[in-house]
Amino acid sequence: DGGITQSPKYLFRKEGQNVTLSCEQNLNHDAMYWYRQDPGQGLRLIYYSQIVNDFQKGDIAEGYSVSREKKESFPLTVTSAQKNPTAFYLCASSISSGANQPQHFGDGTRLSIL
Amino acid sequence: AQSVSQHNHHVILSEAASLELGCNYSYGGTVNLFWYVQYPGQHLQLLLKYFSGDPLVKGIKGFEAEFIKSKFSFNLRKPSVQWSDTAEYFCATKEGSQGNLIFGKGTKLSVKP
């Protein structure tokens, strides 16, 4: 079955540590996105990539980094500069960044601080 | 920048009650509106979408939404809810050039059996 796989499902970070969240899709989608979900705040865009080897900052990119070396993979690194990383992280993809293309979402990764 | 407002943070209904969840959006030129649902422990799923044409859009699981241009609204409705509709519902619009979704803060729906 085609879809988006996020791993791990749960992740714990120590102070000063960088952690990387994995997102893989086998839908052959060009566009991929990372959102952060906090209770009562909806989803906010961290980074997005419209095509391989290209990515752009979203609304809350500070303290995060990404890469898009392969079409199917869009890992997100939460760096030590992100002072409030505890949240639910969702990866999404769409065929293209076109306005009428819906996004498909992964199951998410819940990140907590130790 | 475009924005989406959802009026209700938490809605509690009994089974068979009718549902209407409010959503207002700021107009950014082209209209691209979505409703997503997140069932407990599951990923976000697309319920329905509207780009143009008939302003009454039918989605999955008996949901529908009505686009009212004059009110900048895209409210979600269901005539008779079930316990299995308990979930969080997100209204969203698309940022034109970037293609990312701009979400409302979500409405939690709790349906009492």
CB pairs under 8 A between A and B: 66
Query: Residues B41-67, buried b or exposed e (16+ Cβ, 10 A)?
Result: eebbebbbbbeeeeeebebeeebbbbb
Report yes or no: A47 and A55 within 8 Å, Cβ to Cβ: yes
The pLDDT tens digits of the residues spanning B72-89 come to 999 999 999 999 999 999
| Closest partner CB to B103 (pick from A4, A40, A43) | A43
Question: What residues have CB less than 8 Å from A39, skipping those under 6 apart?
Answer: none
Query: Residues A20-40, buried b or exposed e (16+ Cβ, 10 A)?
Result: ebbbbbeeebbbbbbbbbeee
Distance from CA of A101 to the nearest CA of B (A): 8
Question: Which amino acid makes up residue A65?
Answer: S
Best CA proximity match to B109, nearest among B90, B92, B91, B86:
B86
Chain B: which residues have CB within 8 Å of chain A? 6, 9, 30, 32, 34, 36, 42-46, 49, 51, 90, 94, 96-106
Task: Tell me if A102 and B49 make a contact (CB, 8 A cut-off).
Answer: yes
CA–CA distance, B112 with A102 (Å, rounded to integer):
31
Low-confidence stretches of chain B (pLDDT < 50) are none
Percent of chain B having pLDDT more than 70?
A: 96
Query: Considering only alpha carbons, which residue of chain B is nearest residue A5?
Result: B43
- DSSP reduced 3-state for B99: coil
The pLDDT tens digits of the residues spanning A64-100 come to 999 999 999 999 999 988 889 999 999 999 998 776 7
The pLDDT tens digits of the residues spanning A37-73 come to 998 888 999 999 999 999 999 999 999 999 999 999 9
**pLDDT score, position B41:** 85
* Number of C-beta neighbours around residue B79 at 10 A: 11
Best CA proximity match to A38, nearest among A114, A82, A89:
A89
> Which two structure tokens, joined as six digits, stand for A102?
């819906």
Task: Tell me if A99 and B51 make a contact (CB, 8 A cut-off).
Answer: yes
Task: Tell me if A42 and B90 make a contact (CB, 8 A cut-off).
Answer: yes
